[in-house]
């Protein structure tokens, strides 16, 4: 990471104040009055996070009604568009999958479409398919095309514009696939793409080149090739199953897949990446949880974007998973106009902790083709981390990473808390901008 990327570099300048013992800081600079001869002031470069980067006010307190079964918004949606559907069907994940909203006509009935959305839908399916579960559609604002959740699932014309630096496969996964649907980038772990189907398609999907096109099928012949590769590679100790959404598989198929992986002696644990608790929480059934419990140690990374996804249904889904002994982590993609503020992220992470989900990663949005309207600057991500660190529990502060284009892997980014050095002391800045010494002899 260089200074131009993060706009967070520190520039040494001459200090005019006389030596003394006190420290002083302003919103943009830190004046260190130190013993001579080494007297240095460090000043944050222009554009760096300042007092403006810190939340002006705390988000409203998180409150969950643990007895609520749904929200008034979802109830109103069902009454208007699915009045005759009984609870048994609405709460059936297979019914939700079968009744996904996929056509422009259906979107037109349920949303007041903007011109950009109408144009995006007219091209839908050419690159990334369109599909939204009725449940997730109930969370969308029917009138406002700028509502955060709506922006992430309803296509707009901008996703068909390719800008410099974008790629259909920005992470270089295809070049790290020894067998179809298996990505081996890091020495000790692999990514197994179980299938290419999602119940709801995110418009910024990193794998839009493959998902929804029928290129990755969960057939046993292909999966056996992947299992054999893992079996023949004893350095692999960790397998992440993703896709598509692996929880779109039936309980029986998932049970078989996990069982086959569990037969490999050197495979220590398995992870599942999913967005089901956010877009189709009805999928997290007691039956599914019984399957998962058979294959521990099993971890799960859940894709959450915004506090509006933390509904009573999502809460129940995560509770079932947690009660089944599955450690839950959240992965969040930083998206312009969706969650690119400290308060929105803090609210989301506080809600996730209430749902027993530990915020794990904030991803800088990958430069996937047609994603320019979603991407923020890297300095925005650093600003959010700085607005979280020290201002809330460390459990609510995920790691901010860029998944390097070309297959470089995840690279962590942090605001610069090292102000400089004075002799054998390291000078560190805390969350309030105060500077402290730490003995660190060179």
* 408 CA to centre of own chain: 19
Question: With contact defined as beta carbons under 8 Å apart, do 133 and 200 qualify?
Answer: yes
List 198, 239, 289, 318, catalytic entry: 198
List 78, 100, 151, 185, catalytic entry: 185
* 212 CA to centre of own chain: 20
Edge-to-edge strands of the sheet including 182-186?
182-186, 189-193, 238-242, 269-274, 298-303, 328-334, 358-364, 399-404, 409-413
Q: Is 351 a catalytic residue?
A: no
DSSP string, 216-270: S---HHHHHHHHHHHHT-TT--EEEEESS-GGGS-HHHHHHHHHHHHTSTT--EE
- β-strand pairing of 23-25 with 238-242: unpaired
C-alpha to C-alpha distance for 97 and 224, rounded to whole angstroms: 27
List 100, 203, 207, 271, catalytic entry: 207
List 202, 310, 318, 365, catalytic entry: 202
Q: Is 185 a catalytic residue?
A: yes
List 43, 162, 410, 437, catalytic entry: 410
Q: Is 323 a catalytic residue?
A: no
Q: Is 202 a catalytic residue?
A: yes
DSSP string, 316-385: HHHHHHHHTT--EEEEEEE-TTTT-SHHHHHHHHHHHHHTT-EEEEEEEPP-BTT-TTT---HHHHHHHH
List 30, 361, 403, 429, catalytic entry: 403
List 54, 151, 189, 209, catalytic entry: 189
Cβ-based neighbours of 306, under 8 Å, separated by 6 or more: 148, 149, 338, 339, 344, 348
Q: Is 340 a catalytic residue?
A: no
List 73, 92, 168, 186, catalytic entry: 186
List 205, 310, 318, 365, catalytic entry: 205
Terminal Cα-to-Cα distance of the chain (whole angstroms): 24
Q: Is 318 a catalytic residue?
A: no
Q: Is 207 a catalytic residue?
A: yes
Q: Is 14 a catalytic residue?
A: no
Cβ-based neighbours of 230, under 8 Å, separated by 6 or more: 182, 190, 236, 239, 261, 264, 267
CB atoms within 10 A of CB 406: 11
* Catalytically annotated residues: 185-186, 189, 198, 202, 205, 207, 366, 403, 410
């Amino acid at each position: 990471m260089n200074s131009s990327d993060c706009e967070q570099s520190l520039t040494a300048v001459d200090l005019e104040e006389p030596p003394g013992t006190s420290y002083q800081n302003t919103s943009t600079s830190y004046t260190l009055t130190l013993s001579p001869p080494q007297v240095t002031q460090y000043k944050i470069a222009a554009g760096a996070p300042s007092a403006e980067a810190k939340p002006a006010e705390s988000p409203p307190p998180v409150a969950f009604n643990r007895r609520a079964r749904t929200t008034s918004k979802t109830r109103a949606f069902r009454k208007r568009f699915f009045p005759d559907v009984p609870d048994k069907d609405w709460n059936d994940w297979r019914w939700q999958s079968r009744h996904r909203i996929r056509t422009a006509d259906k979107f037109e009935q349920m949303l007041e479409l903007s011109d950009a959305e109408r144009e995006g839908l007219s091209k839908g399916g050419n690159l990334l398919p369109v599909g939204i579960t009725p449940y997730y559609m109930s969370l969308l604002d029917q009138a406002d095309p700028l509502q955060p959740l709506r922006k992430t699932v309803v296509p707009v014309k901008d996703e068909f514009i390719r800008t410099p630096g974008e790629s259909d496969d920005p992470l270089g996964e295809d070049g790290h696939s020894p067998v179809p649907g298996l990505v081996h980038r890091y020495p000790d772990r692999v990514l197994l793409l179980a299938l290419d189907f999602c119940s709801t398609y995110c418009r910024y999907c990193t794998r839009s080149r493959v998902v929804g096109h029928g290129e990755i099928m969960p057939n046993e012949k292909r999966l056996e090739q992947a299992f054999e590769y893992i079996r023949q590679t004893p350095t692999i100790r960790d397998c992440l199953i993703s896709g598509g959404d692996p929880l779109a598989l039936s309980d029986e198929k998932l049970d078989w897949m996990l069982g086959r992986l569990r037969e490999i002696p050197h495979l220590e644990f398995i992870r599942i990446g999913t967005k089901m608790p956010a877009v189709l929480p009805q999928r997290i059934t007691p039956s599914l949880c019984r399957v998962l419990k058979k294959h521990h140690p099993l971890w799960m990374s859940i894709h959450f974007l915004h506090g509006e996804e933390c509904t009573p249904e999502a809460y129940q889904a995560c509770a079932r998973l947690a009660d089944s002994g599955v450690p839950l982590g959240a992965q969040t993609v930083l998206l312009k106009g969706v969650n690119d503020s400290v308060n929105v992220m803090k609210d989301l992470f506080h809600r996730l902790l209430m749902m027993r989900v530990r915020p794990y990663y904030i991803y800088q949005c990958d430069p996937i083709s047609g994603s320019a309207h979603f991407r923020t600057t890297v300095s925005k991500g650093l600003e959010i981390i700085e607005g979280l660190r020290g201002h809330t529990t460390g459990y609510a502060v995920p790691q901010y990473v860029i998944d390097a284009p070309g297959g470089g892997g995840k690279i962590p980014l942090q605001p610069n808390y090292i102000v400089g050095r004075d002799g054998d002391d390291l000078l560190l800045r805390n969350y309030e901008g105060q500077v402290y010494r730490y003995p660190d002899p060179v």
